[in-house]
């Protein structure tokens, strides 16, 4: 065979392979939809940066979307998924009518439609309204971040809020350094490292930005002090030291869902604290409430304590929770063989690093890293108030019967951290494990949720409460 002809044939097949075969091999996920099953909205779960193929068993007239797409034939569309977590929409129209069918792509999120889901809550005697155990039915539609929010997600969405240089404190210097090594508008890896050192205020601000990006009403409204700044901060300090709720109530007239939180941002502000108001008509992104987080952490599992139970080994816990071992805290006399074997692979790293998300097993709801890696910000509701950690008023004067105390030296906070972090002891991490917001409230990571349509309904069917 002529050598030039052979080269031509090989080159021809390489081109055909590259143009017509490789693109299909790169398609990570394929959805075959039945037109009759399409409702007003159809939800598909996808990962950021992947390429998906959507086919419908009927000829499509138009695919309307802002996404990067390619029409493959009269019923199939190839879609390049965006690099940031969120919801992207495709409106589909067929030839025989003008009605549009909405396909929602949940990027990096789980779509959970609960219908009388039976959720077990293990006893919690630290809450002011303590209980031994309870079973609750939950109905509602939720979007939940599959992974903790990552450093890339934070730096990309809050880019303009993060300074390039800062000498104020370690927290601000740390985030300035993270921005320096980041690239604006770069692709966020599915397994990027989890964001930590996030304050409650920053998590709420990020949630609002996620809502605004998708045309949703923000869930949180930030109310800044109007009075003299020096007097305002002095009063807050006085309240914290005296733990005087009456003085606190006269200073802030709370009604509905309002929270008093530290104003910890990427730069230092003169104002120390602000009020956060909740828009209960919004179904935008928000932090999970305490009971919601516990429900999501269980993942449908009726086990008590944690996914690995009371008596499993460190090796079993590391299937679900990214943890490390501090060599200085090891009790060598009580180690079993499996722990000794795993120690070399789980040394604690220095610094404030976390680790990549989504590398371990998910729970029953398909959620990753609910335990270990980073502790997650969770907001209290009235019935979740811990005996010595209040900081929220939900019913105005009706909530005058508990004492106001600090949950950290420099903050009064209406929240806690759940799930444990990479440095937590696996023996003590459980569904009811909590950690207060220490380090000026900047020690946590987080994930966001949406209750679509605000349709969640909780019905308690069994409770052994302590009187």
Report the pLDDT value the prediction gives residue 442, as an integer from 0 to 100. 63
Q: How confident is the model at residue 47 (pLDDT cuts 50, 70, 90)?
A: very high
Q: How far is CA 316 from the centre of its chain?
A: 24
Report the pLDDT value the prediction gives residue 46, as an integer from 0 to 100. 97
The sign one gets for the Cα dihedral 31, 32, 35, 36 is negative
**Bridge pairing between strands 68-71 and 376-379:** unpaired
Under a CB-based contact definition with an 8 Å cutoff, are residues 239 and 200 in contact? no
pLDDT above 80: residue 127: no
- The arithmetic mean of pLDDT across residues 432-460, rounded, is 82
Place of tokens 């300074």: 163
Report the pLDDT value the prediction gives residue 310, as an integer from 0 to 100. 62
Report the pLDDT value the prediction gives residue 388, as an integer from 0 to 100. 52
From CA 132, how far away is CA 393, in angstroms rounded? 25
pLDDT above 60: residue 6: yes
* Structure-model confidence comparison of residues 255 and 330, the more confident one: 330
pLDDT above 50: residue 241: no
Predicted structure pTM score = 0.82
From the options 3.10.20.30, 3.90.420.10, 3.90.1580.10, 3.90.1410.10, give the CATH code of 113-465: 3.90.1580.10
Domain ranges of the chain: 3-107, 113-465
- What Rg value do the Cα atoms of the chain yield, rounded? 25
Q: How confident is the model at residue 132 (pLDDT cuts 50, 70, 90)?
A: low
Tokens at 28, concatenated: 């990570």
Q: How confident is the model at residue 463 (pLDDT cuts 50, 70, 90)?
A: low
CATH class, 3-107 region: mainly beta
- The arithmetic mean of pLDDT across residues 183-203, rounded, is 91
pLDDT above 80: residue 353: no
Could you read off the pLDDT of 295-309 as tens digits, one per residue? 999 998 877 777 766
Instruction: Please provide the average confidence, as pLDDT, over all residues in the chain.
Output: 78
Could you read off the pLDDT of 257-277 as tens digits, one per residue? 678 788 889 888 888 888 888
> Per mean pLDDT, which of 123-137, 260-274, 308-322 is the most reliable?
260-274
* Structure-model confidence comparison of residues 16 and 107, the more confident one: 107
From CA 32, how far away is CA 42, in angstroms rounded? 12
Report the pLDDT value the prediction gives residue 275, as an integer from 0 to 100. 84
Report the pLDDT value the prediction gives residue 387, as an integer from 0 to 100. 57
Under a CB-based contact definition with an 8 Å cutoff, are residues 108 and 190 in contact? yes
Q: How confident is the model at residue 252 (pLDDT cuts 50, 70, 90)?
A: very low
pLDDT above 50: residue 397: no
- The arithmetic mean of pLDDT across residues 147-163, rounded, is 94
131 contact partners, CB below 8 Å, separation of at least 6: 121, 123, 124, 125, 463, 464, 465, 466
Report the pLDDT value the prediction gives residue 114, as an integer from 0 to 100. 95
460 contact partners, CB below 8 Å, separation of at least 6: 134, 135, 136
pLDDT above 80: residue 150: yes
Report the pLDDT value the prediction gives residue 380, as an integer from 0 to 100. 83
pLDDT above 50: residue 368: yes
The torsion angles phi and psi of 274, rounded to 5 degrees, stand at -135, 170
**Bridge pairing between strands 41-46 and 100-107:** parallel
Report the pLDDT value the prediction gives residue 107, as an integer from 0 to 100. 98
CA atoms in the 13 A half-sphere facing the CB of 64:
10
pLDDT above 50: residue 405: no
pLDDT above 60: residue 435: yes
Report the pLDDT value the prediction gives residue 134, as an integer from 0 to 100. 77
Q: How confident is the model at residue 251 (pLDDT cuts 50, 70, 90)?
A: very low
Q: For residue 366, give the nearest of 424, 447, 291, 420 by alpha carbon.
A: 447
Tokens at 95, concatenated: 């030839």
pLDDT above 70: residue 350: no
- C-alpha pair distances (Å), 64 with each of 76, 89, 90, 312, 440: 13, 8, 6, 51, 46
Report the pLDDT value the prediction gives residue 7, as an integer from 0 to 100. 67
- C-alpha pair distances (Å), 150 with each of 171, 203, 286, 374: 17, 12, 16, 10
Under a CB-based contact definition with an 8 Å cutoff, are residues 106 and 143 in contact? yes
Pick from 266-270, 353-357, 367-371, 420-424: least confident? 420-424
From CA 383, how far away is CA 65, in angstroms rounded? 43
- C-alpha pair distances (Å), 264 with each of 57, 273, 411, 424, 452: 52, 8, 10, 24, 29
pLDDT above 60: residue 466: no
Report the pLDDT value the prediction gives residue 462, as an integer from 0 to 100. 60
pLDDT above 70: residue 180: yes
Share of the chain above pLDDT 90, in %: 41
Could you read off the pLDDT of 216-231 as tens digits, one per residue? 999 999 998 775 455 4
pLDDT above 90: residue 43: yes
* Structure-model confidence comparison of residues 385 and 366, the more confident one: 366
């Amino acid at each position: 065979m002529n050598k030039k002809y052979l080269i031509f044939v090989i080159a021809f097949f390489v081109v055909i392979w590259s143009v017509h075969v490789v693109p299909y091999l790169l398609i990570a996920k394929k959805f075959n939809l039945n037109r009759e099953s399409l409702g007003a909205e159809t939800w598909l779960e996808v990962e950021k940066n992947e390429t998906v193929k959507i086919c419908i068993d009927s000829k499509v007239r138009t695919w309307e979307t802002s996404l990067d797409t390619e029409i493959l034939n009269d019923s199939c569309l190839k879609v390049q998924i965006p690099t940031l977590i969120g919801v992207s929409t495709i409106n589909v129209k067929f030839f025989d009518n003008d009605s549009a069918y909405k396909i929602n792509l949940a990027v990096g999120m789980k779509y959970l439609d609960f219908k009388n889901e039976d959720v077990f809550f293990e006893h919690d005697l630290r809450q002011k309204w303590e209980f031994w155990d309870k079973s609750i039915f939950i109905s509602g539609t939720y979007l939940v971040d599959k992974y903790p929010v990552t450093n890339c997600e934070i730096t990309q969405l809050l880019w303009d809020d993060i300074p390039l240089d800062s000498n104020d404190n370690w927290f601000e210097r740390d985030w300035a350094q993270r921005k320096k090594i980041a690239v604006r508008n770069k692709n966020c890896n599915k397994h990027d490292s989890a964001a930590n050192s996030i304050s409650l205020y920053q998590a709420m601000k990020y949630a609002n930005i996620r809502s605004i990006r998708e045309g949703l009403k923000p869930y949180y409204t930030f109310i800044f002090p109007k009075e003299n700044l020096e007097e305002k901060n002095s009063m807050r300090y006085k309240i914290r030291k005296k733990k005087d709720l009456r003085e606190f109530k006269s200073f802030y007239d709370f009604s509905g869902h309002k929270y008093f939180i530290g104003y910890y941002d990427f730069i230092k502000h003169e104002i120390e604290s602000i009020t956060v108001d909740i828009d209960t008509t919004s179904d935008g992104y928000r932090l999970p409430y305490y009971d919601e987080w516990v429900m999501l952490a269980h993942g449908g599992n009726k086990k008590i304590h944690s996914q690995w139970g009371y008596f499993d080994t460190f090796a079993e816990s590391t299937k679900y929770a990214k943890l490390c071992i501090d060599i200085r805290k090891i009790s060598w006399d009580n180690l079993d063989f499996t722990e000794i074997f795993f120690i070399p692979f789980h040394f604690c790293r220095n610094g404030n690093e976390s680790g990549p998300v989504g590398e371990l097993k998910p729970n029953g709801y398909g959620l990753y890293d609910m335990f270990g890696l980073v502790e997650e910000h969770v907001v209290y509701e009235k019935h979740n108030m811990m005996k010595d950690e209040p900081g929220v008023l939900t019913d105005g004067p009706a909530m005058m019967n508990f004492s106001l105390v600090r949950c950290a030296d420099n903050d009064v906070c209406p929240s806690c951290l759940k799930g444990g972090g990479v440095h937590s002891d696996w023996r003590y991490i459980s569904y009811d494990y909590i950690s207060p917001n220490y380090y000026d409230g900047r020690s946590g990571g987080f994930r966001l949720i949406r209750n679509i349509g605000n349709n969640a309904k909780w019905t308690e069917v069994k409770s052994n409460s302590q009187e």
